């Protein structure tokens, strides 16, 4: 849903973006849900969308990776630690507060180090600092409507649209 909304919004603003969606737990080639299809149709979006799993080639080819939840972001970092510095939740990428952005960058670095240490069987360092940052950083999650009602999908779409509008404004101001 986010891919289709971003693609349409960027096109309406005259921005040329290559947009690709991949899920951390997606079934390859599965169709979108009926609620997603209905919500997109209500917004005059008739893209034929099927799911695909996130793969290394997609990660390597992507200049920017946006997730809708912190859990998805952490899953991607855990599996592809090289993405640190170019992966964000959609809402956090649209964030403008410098202190929050610094905290987020530090958290990503600490999380990637933790994932690496865990893979190597080393004890976790900086646990207290990670907890402190988690408590200070606001939630940047967009609610996942999966399995929910049509209304849940409409609310998620509205939240996605708002974040995408902020994201695109940021891109227009600083296209690099």
Class of domain 1-95+143-173: alpha beta
pTM: 0.84
Q: Are 70 and 90 in contact (CB under 8 A)?
A: no
Q: Which residue has the higher pLDDT, 92 or 48?
A: 92
Report whether pLDDT(25) > 80.
Answer: no
Structural domain boundaries in the chain: 1-95+143-173, 96-139
Give per-residue pLDDT as tens, 97-118. 999 999 999 998 998 888 888 8
Q: Are 71 and 143 in contact (CB under 8 A)?
A: no
Report whether pLDDT(67) > 80.
Answer: yes
- What's the CA gap between 89 and 74, in Å, rounded? 10
Exposed, middle or buried: residue 119 (CB in 10 Å: 0-12, 13-18, 19+)?
Answer: exposed
Calculate what percentage of the chain has a pLDDT beyond 70.
Answer: 99
Report whether pLDDT(28) > 90.
Answer: no
Of 96, 94, 101, the C-alpha closest to 168 is: 94
């Amino acid at each position: 849903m986010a891919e289709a909304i971003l693609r349409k919004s960027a096109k309406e603003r005259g921005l040329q973006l290559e947009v690709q969606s991949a899920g951390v737990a997606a079934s390859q080639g599965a169709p979108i849900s009926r609620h997603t299809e209905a919500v997109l149709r209500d917004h005059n979006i008739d893209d034929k969308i099927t799911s695909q799993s996130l793969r290394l080639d997609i990660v390597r080819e992507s200049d920017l990776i946006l997730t809708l939840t912190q859990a998805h972001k952490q899953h991607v970092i855990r599996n592809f630690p090289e993405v640190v510095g170019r992966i964000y939740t959609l809402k956090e990428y649209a964030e403008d507060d410098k202190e929050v952005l610094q905290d987020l960058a530090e958290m990503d670095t600490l999380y990637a180090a933790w994932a690496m240490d865990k893979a190597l069987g080393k004890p976790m360092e900086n646990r207290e600092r990670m907890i402190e940052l988690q408590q200070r950083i606001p939630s940047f999650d967009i609610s996942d409507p999966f399995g929910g009602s049509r209304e849940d999908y409409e609310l998620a779409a509205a939240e996605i649209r708002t974040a995408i509008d902020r994201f695109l404004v940021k891109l227009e101001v600083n296209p690099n």
